[in-house]
Amino acid sequence: MKRVALVGMPNTGKSTLFNRLTGASARTGNWPGVTVELASARVLAGRHMVELVDLPGLYDLHGFSDDERVVRHFLEAAPVDALVVVLNASQLDRQLALALQVKALGLPTLVLLNMTDEARRHGIRIDEAGLAAGLGLPVAALSAKLGTGQAGAVRRLASLLDGAGPARDAALREALEEDHRREAAVESLLARHVHVPPRLSETASDRLDRVVLHPWLGLPIFFLAMLAIFQAVFLLGSPLQDGVEALFDAVRKSALEALLAPLPDFARGILLDGVWAGVGTVAAFVPLIVVFFFFLAAVEDSGYLSRAAFLTDSLMARLGLDGRAFVMLLMGFGCNVPALMGTRVMRDRPMRLLSMLTIPLSLCSARLQVFVFIAAAIFRPAVAPWVLFGLYVTSFLAVIVTALAFKGRFASREPFVIELPPWRAPTLRLVALRGWLEVKHFLRRATTFIFVGVVAVWLLTHLPVGAAPAGPATLAGWIGHALQPVLGPLGIDERLAVALLFGFVAKEVVIGAFAVIYGLEGDALAGELARSMDWVAATSFMIFTLVYTPCLSAIATLRTESRSVGFTALAIAWPLGLAWVASFAFYQGMRALGL
């Protein structure tokens, strides 16, 4: 089987092309640095079965960022039959140098000019045959977003592979060590084969940028857009959530209870009240996740998040960070783990460490499930979206406090450079794919962390045998009682304390833990939560859950990416202390006001 690697700068549509060719699960997003891991999949090109590898985006093959090292190390270590260089057809003046660097490696190479639809709209004309002759490489034009030109590109690749073979290791290593400047060659190629109008006509994208990048209106518009997404999550997701809950309840009553009736009480309890109730409660939030990430993927694909990074760079600079850190924080809304890995695009280690310290404070999708459930149970429908929005604002405040506290320790002088892509209309296929990938990620975790977590919670709340479920005589009761001197001043009772313990494993487990601890699910569980705590205690619990220690997956990623046990310990201890102080201040302050 042949191996072909995709190479290109960030934001050239490389991962979009990979997904379109293979249907595989590479993450796509419209900002630089989205690809941080090596994704591979098989695809048929002519008579060749090809292993297509999506390499991280890079600006310079001989640069020194982590992503650039990953590309070079992969090319040095893995036998490669051919390379495909993906270039943005409307930015060849900045990207042809990379094609020449790749050509110098001596491997069979195909150049793909992507986003040709955008280039045509800007009046850019490309002499493909002349450019191919000047480069000495085959050139094909396509639009990965629209799918045009895809078949021709695959045929060119198949033709290239007919006579291709892996390069000799010694020759490849020698080529990778060269770092000659190629500006003269790029200028010559551009002058002979690429026509760019003296001034690109003003487009709707430019006019829109004058509004969304306005120094005074830009940030309010961004936060209003996020608030609109939260409103839509509740408006569209709640009916779907009710349907899933009804389905799980019907399956339990019509089939499972009768099927498991012959089992001993202990086994029946762990299966029905542990596994089924816990997983069913968590599964009810899949529709909310789908709706949330459908909208968030649309925002990403449109190019808005890169503009949010630009807008916030001056603020982030005061915190010792830059706009890239803000982009990673926004990525953390989905999951903290890929956001932490995304900091590889930062060359400066202090900047990267400070960014990694703040990212786990962003409100990830796992925490979102917990907050949506509690907000829906405690607050009126008209108020719940504002509560959720307030938690996002609290998340940013926690980031600001953390950055200010540690920017002196992790001082950086690396300049901020980001490319603003043109506005693009999100495609339904890519938006749906992103939402599906997030759901798949959630379901994979549900089969591991959540399953083990809810079973463990059930055991803690039912052992020793004979004790009243979730009562003070159970293991959970002992643990909750032991934590009361610490968590009691925050309005967090013994049962909620046990749920927080399992949230350390994975935040998704918290909802399943509620179902097991209270012995209820669905509307009954929501009603019990509303009876057992008022809005002040519920908000204090959500603040603590928002800020306290990252999940195990995030901690493992912090350890791997930082390569420091001390930094990992700091990333655990600091948010735990910050969470306690924030919850204490809110809870005691509200009580002092008589609320």
In sequence order, what DSSP letters do the residues of 420-433 get, joined into one string? -PPP-PPPHHHHHH
Decide: 458 and 269 in contact? Cβ < 8 Å: yes
Residue length of the chain:
595
Strands (E), 10-128: 39-45, 48-54, 82-88, 109-114, 125-126
Q: What is the pLDDT of residue 180?
A: 39
β-bridge partners, 4: 52, 82
Other C-beta atoms closer than 10 Å to the C-beta of 489 total 15
Q: Which of 386, 387, 322, 330 is nearest to 363 (CA)?
A: 330
How many degrees, rounded to 5, is the angle at CA 325 between CA 93 and CA 330? 100
What is the maximum alpha-carbon separation in the chain?
Answer: 86
Give the closest residue to 397 by CA, choosing from 349, 455, 329, 338.
329
Residue 32: alpha-carbon gap to chain centroid: 13
Q: Are 343 and 330 in contact (CB under 8 A)?
A: no
> Whole-angstrom Cα distance, residue 189 to residue 369?
53
Closest among 498, 572, 586, 494 to 539, alpha carbons compared: 586
Q: CB-based contacts of 106: which residues, under 8 Å, 6+ apart?
A: 167, 171, 172, 175
- CA angle, residues 226, 232, 234, in degrees to nearest 5: 115
> Which tokens is 517 given?
């601890």
Superfamily of domain 2-195 in the CATH hierarchy:
P-loop containing nucleotide triphosphate hydrolases (3.40.50.300)
Distance in angstroms (rounded) separating the CA atoms of residues 339 and 29:
12
**What pLDDT is attached to residue 356?**
94
Taking the C-alpha atoms of residue 574 and residue 330, their distance in angstroms, rounded to an integer, is 21
Comparing CA positions, the residue from 374, 371, 412 lying closest to residue 388 is 371
473, two tokens: 């005589």
Contacts of 414 (CB under 8 A, 6+ apart): 322, 346, 347, 348, 351
Strand pairing category for 109-114 and 194-195: unpaired
Separation CA 585–CA 578 (nearest Å) = 11
**What DSSP string describes 210-225?**
HHHT-TTTHHHHHHHH
Sign of CA dihedral 24, 366, 330, 242: positive
Q: How far is CA 106 from the centre of its chain?
A: 36
Give the pairing type, strands 194-195 and 125-126.
antiparallel
pLDDT digits (tens, 9 = 90+) for 372-383: 889 989 998 889
Judging by beta carbons within 10 Å of its beta carbon (0-12, 13-18, 19+), is residue 37 exposed, middle or buried?
middle
Q: CB-based contacts of 374: which residues, under 8 Å, 6+ apart?
A: 529, 538, 541, 542
- Put the strands of the sheet holding 2-8 in their side by side order: 39-45, 48-54, 2-8, 82-88, 109-114, 139-141
Q: Which residues of the chain have pLDDT under 50?
A: 28-35, 179-181
Do the beta carbons of residue 330 and residue 307 sit within 8 Å?
A: no
DSSP 468: P
Task: Record the tokens describing residue 63, joined without a space.
Answer: 């640069």
Burial of 237 by CB count in 10 Å (0-12 exposed, 13-18 middle, 19+ buried)? buried
Spell out a b/e string for 53-62, using b for 16 or more CB atoms within 10 Å of the CB, else e. bbbbbbbebe
Question: Would you list the domain boundaries of the chain?
Answer: 2-195, 219-416+425-592
Residue 549 pLDDT = 87
